Amino acid sequence: DVKVTQSSRYLVKRTGEKVFLECVQDMDHENMFWYRQDPGLGLRLIYFSYDVKMKEKGDIPEGYSVSREKKERFSLILESASTNQTSMYLCASRAGGTTDTQYFGPGTRLTVL
Partner 1 sequence: KNEVEQSPQNLTAQEGEFITINCSYSVGISALHWLQQHPGGGIVSLFMLSSGKKKHGRLIATINIQEKHSSLHITASHPRDSAVYICAVSPAMNYGGSQGNLIFGKGTKLSVKP
CA angle 112, 49, 91 (to 5 degrees): 45
Phi/psi of residue 84, nearest 5 degrees: -75, 0
**CB of residue 52 vs partner 1: minimum separation in angstroms?**
16
**Nearest 10 degrees: CA dihedral of 71, 97, 101, 109?**
60
Q: Which of 21, 23, 24, 90 binds partner 1 (CB under 8 A)?
A: 90
Q: Which of 1, 53, 84, 101 binds partner 1 (CB under 8 A)?
A: 101
By C-beta, is 14 or 32 nearer to partner 1?
32
> Which has the closest alpha carbon to 43: 113, 107, 111?
107
According to the binding rule CB under 8 A, does residue 109 interact with partner 1? yes
The interface with partner 1 within residues 5-64 (CB under 8 A) comprises 9, 31, 33, 40-43, 45, 48, 50, 56-59
